[in-house]
């Protein structure tokens, strides 16, 4: 997936297999998107660490649902991306405010200003709650999403 776009998950295999390790990974030879000579790339790799971070996926239910991350004090950072259709890389964090009400958020793939007028996520001790609102569409019925939460 590319952070600079709201496109659907790419189906092309950009990564090779076999020689990867905890510190290196390889791109497919000849892939101009992830392996162009002379180009610089940044890869963000995420992992689940119990009580600290949670890489998650969920299917939307069209209203409101709790995403249980196994935390004891809720999420301080939440990033969500729709994977079956276009959708922004939305980010909420406790510095801006994750509350039971309007929650300021940013779209990582956009230069647009912070949005402060919708209630897409709410607090929950185990993680967070996603609400279906038209501004972000982070809980559309039957849609699929991936994300990262940090306690």
Higher pLDDT, residue 119 or 21: 119
What lies within 8 Å, CB to CB, of 30 at 6+ separation is: none
Alpha-carbon distances, residue 103 vs 13, 59, 73 (angstroms): 36, 21, 18
pLDDT at res. 70: 97
Instruction: Categorize the per-residue pLDDT at 40 as very low, low, confident or very high, splitting at 50, 70 and 90.
Output: confident
pLDDT at res. 27: 64
Q: In sequence order, what DSSP letters do the residues of 121-146 get, joined into one string?
A: EEEETTEEEEE--TTT-TT-TT-EEE
Q: Cα–Cα distance between 3 and 47 in angstroms, integer?
A: 17
Mean pLDDT in residue range 74-103: 92
Rounded to 5 degrees, what angle do the CA atoms 123, 125, 129 make? 40
Instruction: Categorize the per-residue pLDDT at 91 as very low, low, confident or very high, splitting at 50, 70 and 90.
Output: very high
% of the chain residues with pLDDT over 90: 60
User: What is the rounded average pLDDT for all residues in the chain?
Assistant: 85
Kindly tell me if the per-residue pLDDT of 14 is higher than 90.
Answer: no
- Lowest average pLDDT, out of 26-40, 54-68, 115-129, goes to 26-40
State whether residue 22 is helix, strand or coil. coil
Instruction: Categorize the per-residue pLDDT at 36 as very low, low, confident or very high, splitting at 50, 70 and 90.
Output: low
Kindly tell me if the per-residue pLDDT of 43 is higher than 80.
Answer: no
Mean pLDDT in residue range 114-139: 94
């Amino acid at each position: 997936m590319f952070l600079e776009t709201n496109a659907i998950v790419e189906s092309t295999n950009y990564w090779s297999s076999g020689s990867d390790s905890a510190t290196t990974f390889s791109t497919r030879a000849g892939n101009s998107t992830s392996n162009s000579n002379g180009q610089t790339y940044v890869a963000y790799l995420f992992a689940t660490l119990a009580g600290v971070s949670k890489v998650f996926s969920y299917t939307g239910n069209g209203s409101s649902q709790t995403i249980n991350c196994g935390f004891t004090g809720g999420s301080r950072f939440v990033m969500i991306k729709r994977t079956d259709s276009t959708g922004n890389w939305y980010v909420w964090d406790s510095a801006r405010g994750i509350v039971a009400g309007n929650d300021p958020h940013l779209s990582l793939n956009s230069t647009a200003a912070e949005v402060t007028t919708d209630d897409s996520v709410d607090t929950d001790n185990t993680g967070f709650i996603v609400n279906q609102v038209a501004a972000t569409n982070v809980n559309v019925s039957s849609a699929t999403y991936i994300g990262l939460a940090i306690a």
